[in-house]
Structure 1
Amino acid sequence: MSPPPPQRLPAPYRPEAEIVRHRLQSLEHTLDWDAAAHAATPWVAAVRRHPPPFWAMESLLKEYPISSAEGLALMRLAEALLRVPDAETAIALTADQLARADFEGSADGALARLSQAALAMSKRLLPHEAEPGLLGKLGARTVVAAALRAVQLLGRQFVLGQDIAAALREAQDAARAQPGLRFSYDMLGEGARTGQDAQRYLAAYREAIEAIAAKARADVPVERNDGISIKLSALHPRYEALQAERVLAELVPRVWSLCEQAARANIHLTIDAEEVDRLELSLEVFEQLAARVAQHHPQWQGFGLALQSYQTRALELIDCVAQIARRHGLRLMCRLVKGAYWDAEIKRAQELGLPHYPVFTHKHHTDISYLACARALLAAQDVIYPQFATHNAGTIAAILQMASAQRNAQFELQRLHGMGEGIYREVLKQEGIACRVYAPVGRHRDLLAYLVRRLLENGANSSFVHQLADESVGMDQLLRSPLRLEAMPGLPLPPALYGAQRQNSLGLDLAVDAMRAPLLQAHAATPVPPVALAETAQVDAQVRRALAAHPAWDGLPVPERAQRLRSAADRMQDALPRLAALLVKEAFKTWGDAVAEVREAVDFLRYYADEAVRIMQPVELPGPTGESNELRLASRGAWVCISPWNFPLAIFTGQVAAALATGNTVLAKPAEQTPAIAAEAVALLHAAGVPADALQLLHGPGETIGAALVAHPRIAGVVFTGSTPVAKAINLSLAQKDGPIVPLIAETGGINAMIVDSTALPEQVADCVVQSAFRSAGQRCSALRLLCVHEGIADAVIEMIQGAAREQVTGDPHEWRTDVGPVIDGEAYENIQRQLTRLHAQARPLLPPGDQPPATRLVPPQAFEIADIGEVRQEIFGPVLHVVRWRGDPKGVVDQLNALGYGLTLGIQSRIDTRALALAARAHIGNVYVNRNIIGAVVGVQPFGGEGLSGTGPKAGGPNYLLRFCAERTLTINTTAAGGNVALMTA
């Protein structure tokens, strides 16, 4: 009989309530929660009678809960302080965090006992981003030293040892104190960004396995030995679904070498869980490795996988893993955890506009899922050795109860090093219960940033660990049953992110095969249609038709115009696959960029429709008795909209929608390179009810058609996105015309910079730089052109960026794996090549030039180190990054950037909040982004537009944008002229 076909996971985006109901049904008649709570009560009581020592995590959370200013300050210091190389920045960081907290009020607790005097003096001695005197500086250094000691103490609670040898010694001491304790060592925190990182982490894993193997026994079941946990993202810098082919070819052999090493040593190797978008890829890697285990080491029962119960597919994942085990005749290990990326998963689903969340949005829903998964694991113990990682006494009691109902149940409990020791001290008094400690190993400065972020996500006040130490939380509340499905206010679904007024555009998760399929089908079925060229001689007639159509379009009630734009948005949303395919073919967009652009266009239509309804209502103004005063907005007439090729759908649609929403008619001239996309947008607007003469497309060269439109004496305004020189030429043409003064809305480019200080996390910086500088082949107005990095961390950051940039795939945008597609045309390619030739002669190249033939128009990511900010004099519109080192006061860096005259986007990477805010306030920049990339402004969320050489304002996608398309008119009526103010006379 042939084995069953592999089970596929369901879609990750399903209604949460339905899933929870199913999980509850699976627990019916298998769990008596009241009995479990009764069993857990003595454990909790014992912990409260004998609280853990002051350095334990529970004590720390009790004294400094993460929701408090003190707790947050301590966690943020722990995240950053150890990696700061220079004293001045360390002082500034400590001042920034401790100045907002009151450690003096906690003088009887853990951290205060450690460095009470120093911390109490912090706010008096630490300079707050100001030049201290000598005494102040000496005092500040003392306080920083105390803070460092406190962070190092905190590090000991998170990290078992700073290398594997030290960790093994600590584990041996712990096992002597508590016989039978087992360990799973986790060597790493962040994932690899470079190929060099991946090889270094692979070597660290091999060294750790060798050290663990030296203490392992060959004559006992594998679960009785210590083992190792590995992160697949640490072993490959592009561990992503869209890079699956490469990942499977390169990563599987690396992990297999570790599996063989562990199998020979009779120790376990568990693959840790990661983000939802990597789940299918992880499962594919896991099955390929399982097949090799079955072939080469069939007796080894130590291969395992971690499962996150907060994922809505966790229960189905257990079924998949059990099927893999049965298909290959193996017994696998499965570690069940709650999950550690909740905030990131929620934000990703919101940003992508997905229909549902892939994780549960209520804690007790995750608790229900955990219990349902525990039941499933116990039921599959013929092929799975269950491992239950939890610090919740009620959950532990429930697991023990469910296990007792099965004959000879084999399983173990797990806890994180530094947490849950009190509860497990009581639990392990029962015979026959095994516990394994998940033990991070590594330098504090490397691991604390990662671990603290996980704690910040999972150490909320509602957590059991926090409430356990809080005796004001009664036993009934602490051990309350999670087995309930209540009507609770929760997070709005991503489509409802902006409330009932405006629906968020729907997007796709390209990591999901089913969501990619419509795009591929559309790509095969969508040609790039030809668009007829307009003739200069026709411009006057088309302007006259637009003027003739203006009274009727303007005369529609504003809600009716808005509704037609919303209808166009719905049509555009429905056409997303076709429009995205057209963007890939005509504008050479990668799939991710194409989907995002369609969504932005949809958002523009809906946002401007709502804004027009909001602002185009008469406003009554105060005045003297017997007089009414009213302010009204009115359309101006026929507008010329000139859009660029780099966002041929989103910017085109945004310009047109703004003009139409306010009652103007439109003559739209798209970029010469991308007329088909513009024609599709116009067709959708016409189908939604916008009259053909109210919106006309004029395709042709800017020098002829564009110039003729701008020069026409009867146009009411021009909105333009493109280069600064062209914007200046348009402005000059408008100024030289006879007749009315015509408004110009211009959005141009910029020498966009990112300032990185020495508190920044290098991995986060590398991610943001690569996204900002090289995504869309650097062909965004907002793209990063200049990286200003503090000299104290410059070498490490530059090395990481170099490695991450080399991992970018340059190629055909139709391929899913492509990160950097071709530049728009031959002229753009030649211009970039001239600039690269100059830079190779004048600056230090940081990346190889690549060997792409000119016919492909592919420019691989390029970077150059320069000596001074002033050397960057113009924008290079491609994947080219300048890097400069700085020292001293970062305010001086901002002043130099201001002196360049551009003002579009700026990034700030710093953990010093007051510094980031001060730099943002000092910058003459339209859009400032702190601790994130600097691209991808969202309509209505980050209104976009610059100042100086970067544009005129107002900001697109913001609440002031539509005002520029309107004329303001005031109506004053003297009511006394018709007999007086009746209301006053009858008062």
Structure 2
Amino acid sequence: MPQRLPTPYRDENAIVARRLAALAQALDWDAASRQAAPWVRAVRRDPPPFWAMESLLREYPISSAEGLALMRLAEALLRVPDADTAIALTADQLGRANFSGAEGDSAMARLSSAALALSRKMLPDGRSDDGLFARLGARTVVAATIRAVQLLGRQFVLGEDIAAALAEAANARREQANVRFSFDMLGEGARTEADAQRYLANYTHAIEAIAQRASPDVPVERNDGISIKLSALHPRYEDAQRERVLEELVPRVASLCLQAARANVHLTIDAEEVDRLELSLDVFEALAQHVAREQPQWRGFGLALQAYQTRAVDLIEEVAAIARRHGLRLMCRLVKGAYWDAEIKRAQEMGLPHYPVFTHKHHTDVSYLACARSLLDAHDVIYPQFATHNAGTIAAIVQMARERKAAFELQRLHGMGQGIYREVLRDAQLACRVYAPVGRHRDLLAYLVRRLLENGANSSFVHQLADESVGLDDLLRSPLYASPAPALPLPAALYGPGRRNSDGVDLTVDAMRQPLLDALARTTVPSMPMTDPAEVAAAVARAHAAFASWSQWPVERRAAILSTAADSMQARLPHLCALLVKEAFKTWGDAVAEVREAIDFLRYYALHAVQLMEPVLLPGPTGESNELRLEGRGPWVCISPWNFPLAIFTGQVAAALATGNTVLAKPAEQTPAIAREAVAILHAAGVPHDALQLLHGTGETVGAALVQAPGIAGVVFTGSTEVARLIARTLVTKDGPIAPLIAETGGINAMVVDSTALPEQVADAVVQSAFRSAGQRCSALRLLCVHEGIADAVVEMVAGAARELVCGDPGRLATDVGPVIDADAFANLGRHLERLRRTARPLFAADVPAGAPPHIVPPQLIEVQAIADVDQEVFGPVLHVVRWSGDPLAVIDQVNALGYGLTLGIQTRIDSRAQAMAQRARVGNVYVNRNMIGAVVGVQPFGGEGLSGTGPKAGGPHYLLRFCAERTLTINTAAAGGNVALLAG
């Protein structure tokens, strides 16, 4: 269906200008500031007598070492199952900070500081004796630290179950009558169907409990309610799975809505990330239609809106339209937003035109106030709920609402904002709802970290309220102005003025994905004739002749040609993506990423060639000049693989051309059409035809003939270790100069997971690393090494997440895993799996759906007894699992012993452990607490060592050097009678 909202990637300043215009006659900020000032003075004069966010931030600002250590401990310590790791984590974090000398007036703050300071003194630091006394002392102090972290958790969790939370809510209401609650059952998005069913049961139980205390005879807004996450109720809550989400998720949420409606309590759908917003609206309207049919009198159905999104006002207009279409009055909770840093990073990584969120904090404040006006203007169909801890914002909302005589409520987070709301609620006409997390303290981590980051920033009102050095005028300064430029460079300028970032595609935006789908419909894969091996000698001769002129072109001219080719690829992105889908069986996300990588290679090598090939003057004795310069070597053979038939092909060719070499390019025999497109683009940009020649054929015929040909200046190869060895032997035994070999080969890539790692984060990283691209990446995860203390839970979650992947036609947006490249690859994987089933324990294998294309290998997990049992690379979606205990460095040693050295993943919250493991590993690319794939040109130079390649690393600052010959020119400048410059001095 057509998308409801404008693109999220629009000019920030233009949007802010419109929001300011809308507020020009609607808000008197000076009056709001005057109303808020007494609240601030009262809080600073008489702060709340318990350890709220304000005192925590005063004690340990998030920008400090202490604040960061506390956040890390709160995030991880309570879930660590074994004492040794808990000791290591606590020592690691507390060793970086100083918790002594707390100055806070909160007894809890002082108690926690004392415990943390004592912990720091007593924990082993790597230099102390590791005897029984030290071990007992460490365990005792870890217990004290856990208690301190639990005390922290108690400030932000209303109760560990819904019954306890309801009791606490009742106590709060006895102290202040105009307080209501919205209970949030702690937990993140579901990774598995079992997760989703567990969250559904939790929500159902919570509504039952809330209903028992709700009054059936009062307006629903006076009762408590519940907030739910759609991503918690479906493991694939994402735009690409729209049909499945609407079929499976809507009935689940509809049952909760009807349950809440019958109980006269409210139910609010929490806000999520930008890429899910259109899907959320589709789900929301489907539910609204259901409510209108089944419970039209219910006025408790709601949605949370994030003001930091550039489409926030557009979203309010759409929600109001939904309410009017279905004859409902809806609740809308307006929040600032909780995923700002993730949205910024996503836009940068994807090369999007603009950011989908405001980059200046005060622009978000402007948006919040403009959203407030829109909500209040629609009060006939919307009951506005304003979640804020900012005194000036509260006063502005009260002002605008009373001018419109609109009903509304204020909201705050449990554990935050108590002081301000103590003063605000002295006005009995105002009401506040507390957004209250419910759950075990160990499940608090993701929520707490987001809240600490959100409210702990130096620019946040909560932080500045606690800092009395910030004057009242500064604290309540008007946000109603526009900054002239974004606070961050746009994604296109991420790499600075010298190199433009490639432009990407957000496949959740219809206007951006439709050109790709249109291109797919008109793209066919042309057949290409094979090159006769007998023609290789003539091609080499042409390459030699072309080298004489191409190598003499100014490097700036060659670089300009590569930059032109990059622009042409950018313009042809839809067609190139469609060809990758058709010929190489790439899924859409992988296809877009590959075209962008090819563009990045062209721009990066063009820039670096100009910098690198500038002659360098070297020091020397008087009367002499010494100059070092780089030049091309001659004709290079570039042999590229089928798994990245555009990106690796283009990267090899671009590096050779940029440095003045000519190229004989042999693409993989499975993907010649993509290579032909790349060559045509380079020729059209200005590369002479003889300087870049495409020779299509098998490795055994054309490839062998090229490597054996006399006069080849070098070979760059990406493929198997066995073929790289053959090429190396051939080059060494040939007559004539010894040609260099740049080889990037395979890997048995491992991920080592300790017991501090967050299982949900591990599952995400594993599924992406092992199964994306059908496991056909050089960098793909092959061996998962999990600490035995969490192995069962992690394996269950990974298997459950893999079960939800969609295998099938890569041309469908919903497909996660397409076919392997050909029948030979399919047969090889089948034989390997058959061997494994006899020697290892299968854990999980996904089903292949009926009607799937041929050569689908479904994702699967197989447990082996030891790391050494995995002795060969398996190029497909097959993940080997091994359990470990003891010293994590010993695990790294065992991985090193396999002899490969391409990629390694580390999942741990112990910073010093991550550093030690990375230093011990003999691999080219180490990734900590993220996936292991998708190396970015110039950001993560890619390449391995040992059995995984020769180096240098592709997309790195040293790669071009290997393509060059170094020459030194020394001139005796005093040969004509003496050093005139010296004599003149």
TM-score interval w.r.t. the shorter chain? over 0.9
Residue matched to 1:353: 351
Q: Which amino acid aligns with 1:564?
A: I
Query: Cα deviation per residue 1:905-930 (whole Å; 9 max; x = unaligned)?
Result: 00000111110011000000100000
Residue 488 of structure 1 deviates from its aligned partner by 5.5
CA contact (8 A) 1:336 1:387 kept: yes
CA contact (8 A) 1:112 1:119 kept: no
**Residue range with higher mean Cα deviation, 717-726 or 154-163:** 154-163
Residue 145 of structure 1 deviates from its aligned partner by 1.6
CA contact (8 A) 1:107 1:116 kept: no
Residue matched to 1:273: 271
Residue matched to 1:329: 327
CA contact (8 A) 2:819 2:853 kept: no
Which of 675, 679, 696 aligns to 1:678? It is 675
Alpha-carbon distance in 2 for matches of 1:55, 1:92: 28
TM-score if structure 2 supplies the norm length? 0.98
Q: Which amino acid aligns with 1:211?
A: A
Residue 978 of structure 1 deviates from its aligned partner by 1.9
- The residue correspondences of 1:453-468 to structure 2 (distance < 5 A) are 453-468=450-465
Residue 28 of structure 1 deviates from its aligned partner by 1.1
Which of 903, 921, 924 aligns to 1:923? It is 921
CA contact (8 A) 1:343 1:457 kept: no
Residue matched to 2:694: 697
SS in structure 2 at match of 1:928: strand
Residue matched to 2:30: 34
Query: Sequence identity, in percent?
Result: 76
Residue matched to 2:943: 945
Asked whether 1:405 is paired with 2:403, we answer: yes
Asked whether 1:167 is paired with 2:165, we answer: yes
Residue 873 of structure 1 deviates from its aligned partner by 0.4
Query: Cα deviation per residue 1:432-473 (whole Å; 9 max; x = unaligned)?
Result: 111100001011101223322342244201100010011100
Q: Which amino acid aligns with 1:144?
A: V
Q: Which amino acid aligns with 2:410?
A: L
- The residue correspondences of 1:705-784 to structure 2 (distance < 5 A) are 705-784=702-781
Alpha-carbon distance in 2 for matches of 1:450, 1:825: 45
Residue matched to 2:621: 624
Residue matched to 1:817: 814
Residue 732 of structure 1 deviates from its aligned partner by 0.6
Asked whether 1:599 is paired with 2:596, we answer: yes
Alpha-carbon distance in 1 for matches of 2:603, 2:838: 49
Residue matched to 2:141: 143
Q: Which amino acid aligns with 2:160?
A: Q
**Residue range with higher mean Cα deviation, 139-148 or 432-441:** 139-148
Residue matched to 1:45: 41
Q: What 5-or-longer segments of structure 2 have no aligned partner?
A: none
Residue 205 of structure 1 deviates from its aligned partner by 0.2
Alpha-carbon distance in 2 for matches of 1:689, 1:891: 52
CA contact (8 A) 1:125 1:137 kept: no
- The residue correspondences of 1:67-82 to structure 2 (distance < 5 A) are 67-82=63-78
SS in structure 1 at match of 2:883: strand
Residue matched to 2:586: 589
SS in structure 1 at match of 2:404: coil
Residue 142 of structure 1 deviates from its aligned partner by 2.6
SS in structure 2 at match of 1:405: helix
1:775–1:855 Cα change, 3 Å: closer
Asked whether 1:580 is paired with 2:577, we answer: yes
Query: Cα deviation per residue 1:303-325 (whole Å; 9 max; x = unaligned)?
Result: 00000000000000000000000
Residue matched to 2:61: 65
Alpha-carbon distance in 2 for matches of 1:320, 1:112: 45
Query: Cα deviation per residue 1:494-537 (whole Å; 9 max; x = unaligned)?
Result: 01100110000000000111111000110011111122211111
Alpha-carbon distance in 1 for matches of 2:477, 2:380: 32
TM-score if structure 1 supplies the norm length? 0.98
CA contact (8 A) 1:83 1:759 kept: yes
CA contact (8 A) 1:78 1:449 kept: no
Alpha-carbon distance in 2 for matches of 1:430, 1:777: 61
CA contact (8 A) 2:184 2:227 kept: yes
SS in structure 2 at match of 1:629: strand
1:379–1:489 Cα change, 3 Å: closer
SS in structure 1 at match of 2:814: coil
Which of 432, 444, 447 aligns to 2:444? It is 447
Residue 851 of structure 1 deviates from its aligned partner by 4.7
Residue 647 of structure 1 deviates from its aligned partner by 0.0
Residue matched to 1:889: 887
1:984–1:455 Cα change, 3 Å: same
Residue 975 of structure 1 deviates from its aligned partner by 1.5
Alpha-carbon distance in 1 for matches of 2:685, 2:671: 22
Which of 348, 363, 366 aligns to 2:361? It is 363
Query: Cα deviation per residue 1:730-765 (whole Å; 9 max; x = unaligned)?
Result: 001111101001000000010000010111000000
CA contact (8 A) 1:63 1:109 kept: no
Residue 132 of structure 1 deviates from its aligned partner by 2.4
Alpha-carbon distance in 1 for matches of 2:247, 2:316: 26
Q: Which amino acid aligns with 1:522?
A: A
Which of 827, 831, 836 aligns to 2:828? It is 831
Q: Which amino acid aligns with 2:337?
A: G
Residue matched to 1:569: 566
Residue matched to 1:96: 92
Residue matched to 1:438: 435
Q: Which amino acid aligns with 1:982?
A: V
Residue matched to 1:235: 233
Residue 943 of structure 1 deviates from its aligned partner by 0.1
SS in structure 1 at match of 2:100: helix
SS in structure 2 at match of 1:105: coil
Alpha-carbon distance in 2 for matches of 1:863, 1:786: 10
Residue 980 of structure 1 deviates from its aligned partner by 1.7
Query: Cα deviation per residue 1:527-549 (whole Å; 9 max; x = unaligned)?
Result: 11122211111000000001100
Alpha-carbon distance in 1 for matches of 2:64, 2:550: 56
Q: Which amino acid aligns with 2:734?
A: K
Residue matched to 1:19: 15
CA contact (8 A) 1:192 1:236 kept: yes
Q: Which amino acid aligns with 1:362?
A: H
Asked whether 1:499 is paired with 2:511, we answer: no
CA contact (8 A) 1:158 1:448 kept: no
Query: Cα deviation per residue 1:166-220 (whole Å; 9 max; x = unaligned)?
Result: 1001101011111121000000231100000000000000000000000001100
Residue 115 of structure 1 deviates from its aligned partner by 4.1
Which of 523, 543, 563 aligns to 1:526? It is 523
Residue matched to 1:876: 874
CA contact (8 A) 1:550 1:694 kept: yes
Alpha-carbon RMSD across the aligned residues, in angstroms, is 1.3
Query: Cα deviation per residue 1:767-789 (whole Å; 9 max; x = unaligned)?
Result: 00000000000000000000001
Q: Which amino acid aligns with 2:812?
A: E
Alpha-carbon distance in 1 for matches of 2:317, 2:824: 55
Query: Cα deviation per residue 1:383-420 (whole Å; 9 max; x = unaligned)?
Result: 0000000000000000000011113x110000000000
CA contact (8 A) 1:79 1:453 kept: no
What is the count of residue pairs matched by the alignment? 982
Q: Which amino acid aligns with 1:62?
A: R
Q: Which amino acid aligns with 1:986?
A: A
CA contact (8 A) 2:848 2:856 kept: no
CA contact (8 A) 1:628 1:974 kept: yes
Residue 985 of structure 1 deviates from its aligned partner by 1.0
**Residue range with higher mean Cα deviation, 871-880 or 546-555:** 546-555
Residue 692 of structure 1 deviates from its aligned partner by 0.4
1:181–1:255 Cα change, 3 Å: same
1:116–1:485 Cα change, 3 Å: closer
SS in structure 2 at match of 1:785: strand
Which of 536, 541, 544 aligns to 2:541? It is 544
**Residue range with higher mean Cα deviation, 455-464 or 630-639:** 455-464
Q: Which amino acid aligns with 2:363?
A: H
Alpha-carbon distance in 2 for matches of 1:805, 1:878: 14
